[in-house]
Structure 1
Amino acid sequence: MGSNGVGSHPTGSDRALPDNAIGVLDATRADRRIEAANVELRRDGQPTLAAASDAQGRAALDPAALRDPAARLSIRKPGYAELLAQCPCDGRRYALSPALASLDGLRVVLGWDAPGVDLDAHLSFPGNHVYFQRPRGLEARLDLDAADRRRPETVTIARRRPGETYTYAVHDFGHRQRPEADALARSGARVYVYVGQSLVRTYAVPAQPGNVWTVFRIDGEGRFEEIDRIAASRASADALGAELARAPGQAAVAAAVEGEDAVAANQRGEAAYRGGDLAAAIAAYQQAIELDPGYALAFSNLGLAYVRKGRAAEAIWTSRRAIALAKGPGAATIRAGAYYNIGKLYELDGQYERAMSNYLAAKREKPDKSYDEALQRVSGY
């Protein structure tokens, strides 16, 4: 039977939580409430209210502020990735992801608001299908498969395998025999993607009928393909893994239109970066990307901030996004620089084979003496 997969991030309103509170849980351990998390509301990048979670994982704040759609929620605790979410957020539960040590690790957390909906996370990659009946795959696992929406549905890739393609999807198990249903679209589902110590991507379920939401694909070089599409399928939960592996990707996306809000958030990030406030810069760039996922400049800026912050895994992820989004006459230069930065981070981590493959990719994009020197340096290992 499918899990009632809970909301990994906002798990929706819950009668156990009053409107003036939020709940904080661990995304990888069942029923573990997090005490002493720093909960903060921000508006236009500036903190407005703050509280700490108690022994039950609850933090009380002004209910009107929690309902403000212009407010942004931040939850932080040492050892966990910072959670960022757009309000309204009154009476909801949020799950924090423990920080990932691997440069190639990834965690995906699923959550939704609607009661009575039975959603399940699926991860498909060569020879593996991770879901509620097969919770373990090769260096990947289903951490939590909860039976109600107050808990998270969490999948972790401990270490991505080079050259392999991963596809992540959400299945409306309760409507597996009614693929035309729109319960998934109305569920309020959210998917949160974590790399290293950071939340790097948030997806909201599209308003489309169907029972399978294919969210994203990771190609053999670690680049994200934004699929974000709902389709109808009568496949069983077990057969869904093979179906996802064959599912078409997204067609070439038109150049993103940078909305005014995304531009403003990016500009706040640039100002914070120049002022040396890396935490505020990262938060602003993340908000810009959430508002406009195709905003290449925000990805580029975020990568620089992560490097300065010492967040190698996050810097690699944003560099890969910059590679995927690079267009126009300067695209080769952007891709070459991004590949080189990835190679350097792998070299510093002692992963010389991966470092070499990225240095070679940089050289293919645009020959440069520094790339030759890097290749010579790692060839000795």
Structure 2
Amino acid sequence: MKKILTSLLYLSVSTILFADNIQILSAVTKDKVINNAEVILQKSGKSSKVTHSKSNGKATFLGFGDTQESTLIIKKAGYSTLVAQCPCDGLTYALSPNMKNLDGLRAVLTWGKYPSDLDSHLAYKDNHVFFDSKRGDKAHLDVDDTDSYGPETITIVKRQKNKAYIYAVHDYTNGNKNSTKTLGNSGATVRVYIGQTLMRTYKVHPHKIGNIWVVFAIDEEGVFHDINAYLGTTKSSDGVKKIMKDILESRDFASQNTLSQSQKSKAESLNEIGEKAYHHKKYEQAMYKYQEAININSKYGQAYSNLGLVFQRLRRNAEAIWANKKAIGLASGVRKKEIRASSYYNMAKIYESQKKYHKALDSYKKALENKEHPAYHKGIKRTKKALHI
């Protein structure tokens, strides 16, 4: 009897130890819980476990190992599907409502218990959006969180033509400590959404020194540039503003990432898996694999090109435009002009279908500048007619 009781006690304790509790909130409304979201945990070699968030926005799994081998997927109608690698227990996840504007973007910051206050900053010409200046030109701070976990969210409603943008995270709790490691050890994650899709996921690098994490930039053409630089200031928010302004003026968007050969090989392997899924018409599965490849190697041009194609198959226009712009920015070698022409043409067709004829005409012209093709001439003729030119 004693052995049976001991076994039951062990089973009970081990089950509790593997109870994964996550909090699901809205990315754009402070402290708004998301109930009845479908929450899926997947682990290689095991059946997926599915549950739904309760009225308090919490979801619980019992008896499922919370390891790096597990993948968390959160779905709810009207929101972008969130995909994250575990460990997940005790973390907060924020769902982003779908965006309709082709030039819109949302950056959602979440982190762990420490520090209590991380701030999102978005800088662009004549604008700096953060907690003390919540509204800029076609951009705003949706949520400001000061008591750990997040989310803290900035939305670009419509990207401004011929303007570059920089996004950064500041450890406000240690705002004057330029050599702190708290930000690097915070578990901070920035998820970038375009349209109805989680496009990029950036994770802070552990043990990095500095209270500023410059995450990414968007140049005047709308092309993303990963920066991932860790800097320090002793002047809190004013220091952040000065540093971001200097980067904007210098246009120094160089990435600080270093990529090993094993990481490159991993990205190539994921891209190949995505291509196989694409050829079997499993477009959403292909999309996730291409995105995984890009999150490892942000300069992987073939993966961006593939992603642009799969987005068009999925009728995700804003996302397809983003991927094609990045493919244009990365185009090089003997096929440079061919890739650029094809990508501009893909964007032109999307703009034309949305009756954005000025943008369509500009894209058709740029396609023609890179390569001669009858379709480009026809596109120019159609859009000029629509514009009564």
Alignment TM-score, normalising by the size of structure 1 = 0.89
Contact 1:30 1:151 in 2 (8 A): no
Matches within 5 A, 1:259-338: 259-338=264-343
Q: Supply the RMSD in Å over aligned alpha carbons.
A: 2.3
Q: Deviations over 1:195-247 (max 9, x none)?
A: 00001111112343112111111111100111110112234424633531321
Q: Which residue of 2 aligns with 1:29?
A: 29
Distance 1:116 1:171, change over 3 A: closer
The one-letter code of the counterpart of 1:319 is N
Q: Which residue of 1 aligns with 2:198?
A: 199
SS of the equivalent of 2:355 reads coil
Task: Find 1:376's aligned residue among 372, 378, 381.
Answer: 381
Contact 1:39 1:50 in 2 (8 A): yes
Q: Which residue of 2 aligns with 1:50?
A: 50
Q: Which residue of 2 aligns with 1:251?
A: 254
Q: Deviations over 1:139-198 (max 9, x none)?
A: 100000022124310000001011111111111222222212222112111111000000
Contact 2:301 2:330 in 1 (8 A): yes
SS of the equivalent of 2:123 reads strand
Distance 1:265 1:369, change over 3 A: same
**Displacement, 1:262?**
2.6
Distance 1:375 1:255, change over 3 A: farther
Matches within 5 A, 1:1-381: 19-43=19-43, 48-65=48-65, 67-206=66-205, 207-238=207-238, 240-247=240-247, 248=250, 249-251=252-254, 257=261, 259-380=264-385, 381=387
Contact 1:303 1:315 in 2 (8 A): yes
**Displacement, 1:326?**
1.9
SS of the equivalent of 1:379 reads helix
SS of the equivalent of 1:36 reads coil
**Displacement, 1:288?**
2.0
**Displacement, 1:63?**
4.8
Worse overlay, 75-84 or 239-248:
239-248
Whole-angstrom distance in 2 between the partners of 1:302 and 1:43: 25
Alignment TM-score, normalising by the size of structure 2 = 0.87
Whole-angstrom distance in 2 between the partners of 1:166 and 1:100: 19
Contact 1:256 1:292 in 2 (8 A): no
**Displacement, 1:122?**
0.5
Q: Deviations over 1:283-309 (max 9, x none)?
A: 222222223222222222221111011
Contact 1:18 1:91 in 2 (8 A): no
**Displacement, 1:124?**
0.6
**Displacement, 1:254?**
8.4
**Identical columns (%):** 39
Distance 1:154 1:18, change over 3 A: farther
**Displacement, 1:82?**
0.8
SS of the equivalent of 2:128 reads strand
Contact 1:71 1:86 in 2 (8 A): yes
The one-letter code of the counterpart of 1:118 is D
**Displacement, 1:255?**
8.6
Contact 2:115 2:171 in 1 (8 A): no
The one-letter code of the counterpart of 1:288 is A
Could you list the runs of 4 or more consecutive aligned residues of structure 1 that deviate by over 6 angstroms after TM superposition? 252-256
Contact 1:118 1:174 in 2 (8 A): yes
Distance 1:43 1:371, change over 3 A: farther
Distance 1:42 1:288, change over 3 A: farther
Whole-angstrom distance in 2 between the partners of 1:267 and 1:323: 21
Worse overlay, 210-219 or 100-109:
210-219
SS of the equivalent of 1:174 reads coil
Stretches of structure 1 that go unaligned for 5 or more consecutive residues are: 1-16
User: Rg bigger for which structure?
Assistant: 2
SS of the equivalent of 1:59 reads strand
Distance 1:287 1:221, change over 3 A: same
Contact 1:21 1:63 in 2 (8 A): no
Contact 1:337 1:362 in 2 (8 A): yes
Whole-angstrom distance in 2 between the partners of 1:256 and 1:218: 25
